[in-house]
Amino acid sequence: MRDNPLVLHVLGARPNFVKAAPVVRGLAELGIRQGIIHTGQHYDALMSDVFFADLGLPEPVANLGVGSGTHARQTAALLTGLEDVVLEHRPALVVVYGDVNSTLAAILVCAKLHVPTAHVEAGLRSFDRAMPEEVNRVVTDALSDLLFATSPEALSHLANEGVDPAKVHLVGNPMIDSLFAALPKLDPAPVQERLGIDGRYAVATLHRPANVDDPEAARELVDAVLGVAEQVPVVVPLHPRGRQRLAEAGLVDRPNLKIVDPLGYVDFLSLVRGAALVVTDSGGVQEETTMLGVPCLTVRPNTERPITVTHGTNRLVTPASLPAAASKALGDGAATPSGELPPLWDGAAGPRIAPRHRSLAPRRQPLPRRQGPGALATSPESPYIGIKAALTPVR
């Protein structure tokens, strides 16, 4: 039996990398053996590789390279790839992050193999099951053994769904930990110079299926962004998802509208830090703008992060209302309704999360061993070396 059990982190997309970095550091400080499984859900170097360098993440122990595809095809590839890696490395704990398909697939694999799991960013809800991410959140939280909540309302959501409160810990937001760590490097000037930006500007990030998959919705969104560009130059680091559809709808270089490739973590946040306004449909950007004090207009009918509205600089808008909302935000600047940042957004979420792995006891059911192509056999004893400890409130 091993004295130092292995913790694996499953990461697939930009927000996962940002949230994982503080947890990886926290566990490293405790001397815990770790490995990263990169699923390749975001496979562009600018959406993936550069984040490992910017965030100081170690090289992955496996890269599945699943790429893009329909939800069914991508999730199927993730399921088979992750099962092989988990059976090979036999972890004592698998940590998943956020709400992407990689997260869902990892939870399903581990539930079937009886591998303990932890979900970082548990309990967020938009209450919109039309969003694939919402389905992923609900399923992931139902199957996780440890649930790390980033905001107080998440505790209520999990309680309403019948989740055992002993599994749930309010720890703060590890994405904010990463932002705190990066702050000394966030200098807008070099990025502005490289992109040819002079003076006041806005930043827009757009990729949600509801906004970009339907041609009519994409045209409506692009028209709204062009309405913002009539007021202030807009820089759009364009996500690979929906790029062609948005270009067909008219989101191309023109006066006051600059389309650029995706940026690395430090470069993107540097650009955001210097912006007068951000327009987005991203969840993480809502949090980052709140922390940086930059006005944010989220083009969505709902958000799983309402704390960025009640305690932050975020406002929900429709495409039709976006130009007027932008005019008001550019005039008023940033303001937080509560006058204070969300609770526990203090840069210490990673250290709060790291010791919690000790609260997992070994699973009774042993992990199967693969014997030959496609064959599974049960090992005589469980490989888990969990450490029993009483669950105590996070301080």
Give catalytic residue positions: 207
133 neighbors 139 (Cβ within 8 angstroms): no
Give the DSSP letter of residue 166: G
Name the DSSP class of 142. H
Structure tokens belonging to residue 70 = 């329909």
Radius of gyration, CA atoms only, the chain: 21
Q: How far apart are CA 69 and CA 274, in angstroms?
A: 35
Per DSSP, the three-state class of 180 is helix
Contact 308, 326 (CB under 8 A): no
**CA-angle at 300, arms to 265 and 132, nearest 5°:** 75
Listed residue (6, 215, 242, 207) closest to 115, CA to CA: 6
Provide CB contacts within 8 A for 92, sequence distance 6+: 5, 6, 7, 116, 360, 383, 384, 385, 386
- The dihedral of CA 121, 127, 132, 137: what is its sign? positive
Amino acid type, 333? G
Least Cα distance to 237 among 265, 214, 200 occurs for 265
Which residue, 318, 317, 393, 324, is CA-closest to 355? 393
Beta carbons of 37 and 11 less than 8 angstroms apart: yes
Place of tokens 């303001």: 335
Gap between the Cα atoms of 263 and 258, Å rounded: 14
Amino acid at 122: A
For β-strands 234-237 and 257-260, DSSP reports them as parallel
The sheet carrying 146-149 orders its strands as 62-63, 33-38, 6-11, 93-97, 117-122, 146-149, 168-170
Question: DSSP state, 330?
Answer: H
